[in-house]
Amino acid sequence: MKEIIELGDDDVISMKNINLNLTKQLMSKFSDVKQVAKNYVGNPLLEWISNGTECEVLQINGGGWIKGRISARIAIDFVPDAKEEIIEVEEGDKSVLDDLREQLNKDVPTH
């Protein structure tokens, strides 16, 4: 599973494609992106996000109607690219390249 980093309101997002950024800016604070996303959503869904709305639910497993509120959430996730694993070779350890160098040096004719 990929790591998801939760962004803070003051974190800055830099987008490569300005047309895909909701704020139409190359760089935006996360709080600005969230606000534009909320404004972008239509009125009924915005009400669901802000306060929820009264409803009743009838589940298929029985139990009759249940009164309550239905609400929605908008999630904006940041998933960092995978980090390349760096393999450190301790001093004194031979690497595959050392073996290759030795082999190449053996094959080089001396004058």
Query: Is residue 96 situated within a structural domain?
Result: no
pTM greater than 0.95 (yes/no): no
Domain that holds residue 25: 1-82
At position 75, the amino acid (one-letter code) is A
Query: Is residue 19 situated within a structural domain?
Result: yes
Query: Is residue 38 situated within a structural domain?
Result: yes
DSSP letter assigned to residue 78: B
Evaluate whether 49 touches 62 at the Cβ level (below 8 Å).
no
Q: Where are the beta strands (DSSP E) in 1-111?
A: 12-14, 27-29, 53-58, 65-70
Half-sphere exposure of 36 (CA within 13 A, CB side): 13
Question: 1-12, pLDDT tens digit by residue?
Answer: 677 788 888 998
Query: Is residue 107 situated within a structural domain?
Result: no
Query: Is residue 14 situated within a structural domain?
Result: yes
Q: Give the three-class secondary structure for 52.
A: coil
Query: Is residue 97 situated within a structural domain?
Result: no
Query: Is residue 27 situated within a structural domain?
Result: yes
Evaluate whether 16 touches 25 at the Cβ level (below 8 Å).
no
Question: 76-108, pLDDT tens digit by residue?
Answer: 788 888 776 666 656 666 676 777 777 777 766
**Number of structural domains the chain divides into:** 1
Task: Give residue 5's region: left, alpha or beta (phi > 0; psi -120 to 50).
Answer: beta
